[in-house]
Chain A
Amino acid sequence: MLSNSTLGQYFPGNSIIHRLDPRFKLLLTFVGIVLVFVAGNFFSLFAVVALVVLAMGLSGIPLRQYLKSLKAIIVLVLFTAVLNLFYGHGEVLWQFWIFQITTGGISNAFFIAIRVISLILFSAVLTYTTSPTQLTDALERVMKPLKVFHIRVHEIAMMMTIALRFVPTLLEETDKIMSAQKARGADMESGGAIQRMKALIPVLIPLFVSSFRRAYDLATAMECRCYRGGEGRTKMKSLHATVLDYRAVAIIVLFAAAVVACNLLLPARLM
């Protein structure tokens, strides 16, 4: 079923990572992702991996859930890794026609795979430990300076909250409509690309119609609950930084320094 995806899933909890200020978490994740790209050799990459593992461990969320998040992109990881296998120089280990695998290729493949996996895990730590509302709240606060340019920061954040809330609902609805049309003999599994696109019309139109209906209802419900934009609004989970957040920053800075140092002092890439 479509609705079983782990996309943007949140696991409530009270771990150190859960308790971090979402704004800091957002920024720290960003820094983490930058470090993934900055890491230029296996030593610095190892520092990045250590950081991810530390964050995962502190989050208190079972490893199983993280593995699940990787399941969705495993094909992508393998694909890029295999592609990279054929690039690179060094001792030739195996050769066929124009393809050749070198020691450099193998190290490239591993390097890329670890990079992609670290990226996914960094974002998984963020989304698993931060509720969508907290996340959008954080974004709203981080983007606040953009108000100067007349960007409606609150509205954008509210739209994201609602979008995230309705993803599972609409997935479920798509499932239902597809079943209903299949029951009327709609054929969505065969035919060429154009035919398949055509076969989607009986699903997409009802989906749009129902989204409009839901939007209308939701707007009514929000007005009934006294919603009037961002002015004068308070937040139950108000954002304020604690000692914890500054400790987290210190740790990240240390790791960043380690990554940079490894990059500079150690050989560019292991063979």
Chain B
Amino acid sequence: MDYLQTADVRFAYEAEEGVTPREVLCGVTLGIRKGEFVALLGHNGSGKSTIAKHFNAMLLPSGGKVYADGMDTMDESLKYEIRRRVGLVLQNPDNQLVASIVEEDVAFGPENLGVPPEEIRERVEEALKAVEMFGHRLDAPYKLSGGQKQRIAIAGILAMKPDCIVLDEPTAMLDPRGREEVLQTITRLNREQGITVVLITHYMDEAVRAGRVVVMDSGRVLLDGTPREVFSHVELLKKHELDVPQATELAHRLKAMGCSLPEGVLDEEECVAALELLLGG
């Protein structure tokens, strides 16, 4: 079994009486291995945020099973252990910080876990250093930029010593600089500390940087593979209201016109190299 494992998960939000509940997840089977960096794509309402909340037992499946590190999320007694190991970062950086001082906010998780004070201090320091916000430990969150607040939210999760961090559109409300800060932070945590990362995003240029891309549509997994594999399905992605990077689309369109270009070009470097080979070589 993989670190995060869903088996034919179905889910419907409770509806008013007389209305048949609409299924948001219609049988999702997905395995995420320890240490992976997975980007989860899909348009609004595709079910990607719903599956994210299943990974840490914030939502429980109406059908099927979800296992986190082998623990069944339906088991009430394991709830907090699952949430400690699988941290969830939300979209709005303003709404997930609890305390008025950065270091006190980061301490919130370990305090809830009953960690001894001395160790909390160490963990807070370590977590703030890992997101490069140690210098801001005594600042008030409202004085920080969006990207900085989001990094504090990540530090708050890190202080619980998780194995895995699930981020639900953490960059949707940030400017390009903040997006880059957050992306670099999670990439580094994945590479250097081996933390499993599940990044839910609308931005294709972020997905390209993951090791694996999963595309969801109408509560099902539509595509699953390396960024190159997934982004070679340009037509399919467009049909499902998703975007592809301009570099990918340019290569794809030229190829369709008969140029000998590879599929699944991911960024501008690859695109320029392929075009120069085609035109000049």
Mark A residues whose CB is within 8 Å of B: 3, 10, 12, 131-133, 161-162, 164-165, 168-169, 172, 213-214, 217-218, 220-228, 232-238
Chain B residues with CB under 8 A of A225: 83, 87, 98, 108-109, 112, 156-157, 160
B182 at the interface (CB under 8 A from A): no
Chain A residues with CB under 8 A of B160: 225-226
Q: Which of B2-10, B135-143, B225-233, B254-262 contacts A (4 or more CB under 8 A)?
A: B135-143
Known contacts A168-B140, A217-B92, A224-B88; is-contact A162 B117 (Cβ 8 Å): no
> Are A235 and B95 in contact, CB atoms less than 8 angstroms apart?
no
> Are A164 and B100 in contact, CB atoms less than 8 angstroms apart?
yes
> Are A10 and B101 in contact, CB atoms less than 8 angstroms apart?
yes
B271 at the interface (CB under 8 A from A): no
> Are B100 and A161 in contact, CB atoms less than 8 angstroms apart?
yes
B120 at the interface (CB under 8 A from A): yes
- A205 nearest CB across to chain B (Å): 19
Chain A residues with CB under 8 A of B88: 224
> Are B104 and A236 in contact, CB atoms less than 8 angstroms apart?
yes
User: Residues 141-164 of chain B: 1 if any A CB is under 8 Å from the residue's CB, otherwise 0?
Assistant: 110000000000100110010000
Chain A residue with minimal CB distance to B92?
A: A217
B107 at the interface (CB under 8 A from A): yes
> Are B120 and A236 in contact, CB atoms less than 8 angstroms apart?
yes
User: Residues 92-127 of chain B: 1 if any A CB is under 8 Å from the residue's CB, otherwise 0?
Assistant: 101111111101100111111111110011001000
> Are A217 and B112 in contact, CB atoms less than 8 angstroms apart?
no
B46 at the interface (CB under 8 A from A): no
Chain A residues with CB under 8 A of B73: none
Instruction: Tell me the complex Cα distance, A223–B79, Å.
Output: 10
B220 at the interface (CB under 8 A from A): no
Chain B residue with minimal CB distance to A131?
A: B101
> Are A226 and B100 in contact, CB atoms less than 8 angstroms apart?
no
